Amino acid sequence: MVSVYIHIPFCEKKCNYCAFLSFCPSNAERKRYLSALIDEIERYDGDNVAKTIYFGGGTPSLLTTEELGTIFQKLRQKFEILSGAEITIEVNPNSISEEKVKFYREMGINRVSVGVQSLNNKTLKKIGRLHSKRDVKLALKTLSKYYDNISADLILGLENEKNVCHYAKKLLKWKVKHISAYMLEVHKNTPLFEAVNRGEYRPLSADGVTKSYEKLVKFLKKYHFFQYEVSNFAINGFESKHNLNYWSYGDYVGFGISAHSFLGGVRSANSSNLKGYYGGEKNCEKIDSKMEIEERIMLGLRSQVGVSKLALKKLGYDITLSETYRKLLKEGVIREDGDRFYLNEKFYKFADYHILNLIA
C-alpha cells in the first residue's frame, strides 16, 4: 500500500515568504502542466493500492471542478483507493466556494487543510496573502457544513507571541480539529527577505518564536489537542494519516513537478523545473542501511510514531549500546515503551539537537 501525493503548483499570487515550487500560470501553461500530470499518473506501474491521497501545492483549490474531476478519474483508473482512505486537499480561504466544497465531497475528499497563517489583516497583507480574517471565518463556516475533518496552518514568528493562542482559540471555535504550526523561515530571494533587509518588516526573534511555540503547545493541550508531531496538533482521531505514513517510513508516490517518491527503499524526485518535468527527468537514490537508520530515527523521534529498536538492530545498529541513548533515557529526554522509543513531548522544541546527537 502507498500514500499518493499530487503537486498542484498553481498560485493566484506567490506569498512573500514562500520558497516552495509554485507559480502563477498562463492558461496555456496550466493546460500543459495538467496534461503532463495526467500522463505521469498513467505511466505509473508500481503498487496500486492507495491508503491516502494528498493534493498539495501551491493552491490546489485553484483547480476548477472539471480539472479536479479529470485527475480523480485517472487516479481511480490507476489505483485501488481503499475504503475509508484519507483524501486531503489544501485550500486557501479566498479560493473556495460552496460549489467547490460540495464537489470535493462528491469526489471523496474527506479532509481539508486551510492555509490560514494569521488572523491579523495587517500581517496577512505584509506577507502577501490574498485573504482576510473574515475570509477565514466564512471559509471555515462553509467547510464545516460538509466536513468534520478540517485542519488549519499557522505560522509562528510573524508577530507578537501573545496573538497565537488568540488565533488558535478562534480556529477551535470555527470547528478546526487539527492545527499545523510552522516556524517562520525567511528564505533568500523572497520579497520577505528583502523587506527584512530593508528594515520594513521585523519578524520575531528566535526567542520570541520559541515562546510562541511554548504558549501554543500549552494552550492546545488544555483543549485536548494531542501533539503527535513537532509541528502538528489534533483532537484524537483527527491526525493526518498521510503524514503519519511519512513519519512511519512507509512507501509513497508523488506526481507533479518536484514531487518525491519512496518505493521499495528507492527515493526519487521529479525535476524541479518545468522543462525537466515535461521531459520526464527524475533523480533516483537507493537508500543504504546507514541512511535508513538515520532517517528512521529522524522521522520517528519528531513524532509519536517513535522508533523500533528491533528495526534498527536488523539494519546493524543496536541503539541500546549507545552512550548518548542511555544518557537521554536516564535524563527522561527519551522514553521507552516495549520495542519502541520516543522523544518526550516537552523536548520537541529541541528535537533536531537530540536527533543529531543520536545519529552522529
Q: Are 49 and 82 in contact (CB under 8 A)?
A: yes
Q: Are residues 107 and 194 in the same domain?
A: yes
Q: Please write the tens of the pLDDT for every residue from 337-348.
A: 999 999 998 888
CA 307/CA 61 separation, integer angstroms: 35
Q: Average pLDDT for residues 148-165, to the nearest whole number?
A: 92
338 conformational bin, left if phi > 0, alpha if psi -120 to 50, beta if neither: left
SS3 99: helix
Residue 231's pLDDT is what? Answer: 95
Q: Are residues 28 and 136 in the same domain?
A: yes
Q: Are residues 239 and 316 in the same domain?
A: no
Q: Are residues 97 and 238 in the same domain?
A: yes
Residue 272 lies in a domain: no
Q: Are residues 95 and 156 in the same domain?
A: yes
Kindly report the CATH number assigned to the domain that includes residue 198: 3.20.20.70
Residue 360's pLDDT is what? Answer: 64
Total-model pTM: 0.94
Residue 265 lies in a domain: no
Q: Are residues 86 and 139 in the same domain?
A: yes
Which DSSP helix (H) or strand (E) runs through 214?
A: helix 206-222
Residue 259 lies in a domain: no
34: Cβ contacts below 8 Å, ≥ 6 apart: 67, 70, 71
Q: Average pLDDT for residues 12-33, to the nearest whole number?
A: 84
Q: Cell digits for 359?
A: 545519529
Average pLDDT value over all residues in the chain: 93
Q: Are residues 214 and 299 in the same domain?
A: no
Residue 309 lies in domain = 289-360
Q: What percent of the chain has pLDDT over 90?
A: 79
Picking from 39-53, 84-98, 239-253, 338-352, which range would have the lowest pLDDT averaged per residue? 338-352
Beta strands at 340-343 and 334-337: parallel, antiparallel or unpaired: antiparallel
Domain boundary among 211, 246, 281: 246
Q: Are residues 190 and 112 in the same domain?
A: yes
Residue 76's pLDDT is what? Answer: 96
Picking from 132-146, 205-219, 329-343, which range would have the lowest pLDDT averaged per residue? 205-219
Q: Please write the tens of the pLDDT for every residue from 169-204.
A: 999 999 999 999 998 888 888 878 888 888 888 888
Residue 39's pLDDT is what? Answer: 97
Residue 196's pLDDT is what? Answer: 82
Q: Are residues 241 and 294 in the same domain?
A: no
Domain boundary among 246, 269, 297: 246
pLDDT confidence band for 21 (50 / 70 / 90)? confident
Q: Please write the tens of the pLDDT for every residue from 98-142.
A: 999 999 999 999 999 999 999 999 999 988 899 999 999 999 999
Q: Average pLDDT for residues 200-225, to the nearest whole number?
A: 90
Residue 322 lies in a domain: yes
Q: Please write the tens of the pLDDT for every residue from 58-81.
A: 999 999 999 999 999 999 999 999
Q: Are residues 341 and 222 in the same domain?
A: no
Residue 277 lies in a domain: no
Structural domains counted in the chain: 2
Q: Average pLDDT for residues 282-308, to the nearest whole number?
A: 94
Q: Average pLDDT for residues 249-262, to the nearest whole number?
A: 97
Residue 15's pLDDT is what? Answer: 79
Q: Are residues 86 and 168 in the same domain?
A: yes
Cis peptide bond prior to 300, omega within 30° of 0: no
Picking from 23-32, 43-52, 188-197, which range would have the lowest pLDDT averaged per residue? 188-197
Domain boundary among 215, 246, 277: 246
Residue 5's pLDDT is what? Answer: 98
Q: Are residues 25 and 172 in the same domain?
A: yes
Kindly report the CATH number assigned to the domain that includes residue 353: 1.10.10
